[in-house]
Structure 1
Amino acid sequence: MTVEAQAAPVVSYGRLIPVVVHFDDLDALGLLHNARYPVMVERAWSALWHEQGFTFEGDWQAAGDFCNAVKELRITYEAPVTKPGSYAVHLWLERLGNTGLTYGFRFCSADGAVTYAHGTRVLVRLDAATLRPASWGEEFRTVGRELLRPAG
């Protein structure tokens, strides 16, 4: 296996985004604290969207598709993370609707081979002025379609 293959693992759908677990992410038992998993998943999504040209710079009116809210979060913990170091978050979309989406995630080893936790999160796109559901923009939908998990 080449160094490039190790540095950029391949998944059959979605994206594998590198993340780092720091010593202070661990709890008193030396395990990655359960509340840190969603934070790391959020950071991975932010990195992926930023890479695609979507950013938030503090202005909700200008945020466009970044003006959204979490409707639901589900996470299942499969194995403990017991040390700091390099890991990854595997990200994909399960569903891309008009005003909402469901994404899937796996917190995993850097190569994607070991799953420590997995789950889904439902987001609703909001109009910044009314905080009511609004449609995703076409550019966002185009990128989103590329992240959809294949049926089956």
Structure 2
Amino acid sequence: MTAETLPGPVVSYGRLIPVTVHFDDLDALGLLHNARYPVMVERAWSTLWQERGFRFEGDWEAAGDFCNAVKELRISYEAPVTKPGAYAVHLWLERLGNTGLTYGFRLCSADGAVTYAHGTRVLVRLDAATLRPTSWSERFRAAGRELLRSAD
């Protein structure tokens, strides 16, 4: 099978977002540095939300749903990334609450077949003036529901 006839990446839930590992992302051993994994995930989420019309442009008052904070980050490293190139981040929502959400992620091969790391991150939506939890907008919740992983 040639590259032209390979099927595209398929996931049964969430989205697969292409990312690139660059040479300078590797550590002295030639492995993707452990701190770069969450950065790749963050960039993939930014791409996904921008595709849906959500973006942060430097103004917290105007940021709306992008005014949020990380409450928890968990990551497990399964296999080393040993070279630069094309990879992907598989993203989905595990839970979408009133003021918080939990998303799942995998840093994987470009086709989604090989998992290098996986984890979850909990976000809390904040009011820009008080920095207290506040509700996600209905627009954001509608976009988020499309990414929810079903219980089955």
TM-score (norm 2): 0.96
Per the TM alignment, residue 9 of structure 1 is displaced from its structure 2 partner at its CA by 1.1
Aligned pair count reads: 151
Shift of 1:3: 3.7
Q: CA RMSD in A?
A: 1.3
CA separation of 1:89 and 1:4: change in aligned 2, threshold 3 A: farther
Alpha-carbon separation, structure 2, partners of 1:136 and 1:71: 16
Structure 1 residue identity aligned to 2:74: R
- Structure 1 distance, partners of 2:144, 2:5, is 26
Structure 1 residue aligned with 2:99? 99
Q: Deviations over 1:72-121 (max 9, x none)?
A: 00000000000000000000000000000000000000000000000000
2:76 corresponds to 1:76? yes
Q: 1:92 to 1:82 in 2, by over 3 A?
A: same
Q: CA deviation at 1:36?
A: 0.1
Alignment-derived partner of residue 46 in structure 2:
46
Alignment partner of 1:124 is 2:129: no
Q: Distance in 2 between matches of 1:62 and 1:52?
A: 17
In 2, Cα distance between equivalents of 1:65 and 1:3: 40
What CA distance in whole angstroms lies between the structure 2 residues aligned with 1:127 and 1:139? 16
Q: Distance in 2 between matches of 1:137 and 1:130?
A: 17
In structure 1, what is the Cα distance between the partners aligned to 2:132 and 2:98? 13
Partner of 1:144: 144
Q: Percent identity at matched positions?
A: 85
Q: Alpha-carbon deviations, 1:114-145, whole Å to 9, x = none?
A: 00000000000000000000000001000100
Corresponding residue for 2:65? Answer: 65
Displacement of 1:59 in angstroms is: 0.4
Question: Structure 1: 5+ residue runs without aligned partners?
Answer: none
Aligned to 1:64, what secondary structure does the other structure show? helix
Partner residue, 2:18? 18
Q: Which runs of 4+ in 1 moved over 2 A?
A: 1-6
Give the distance between the partners of 1:72 and 1:115, measured in 2 at CA: 21
> TM-score, normalized by length of structure 1?
0.96
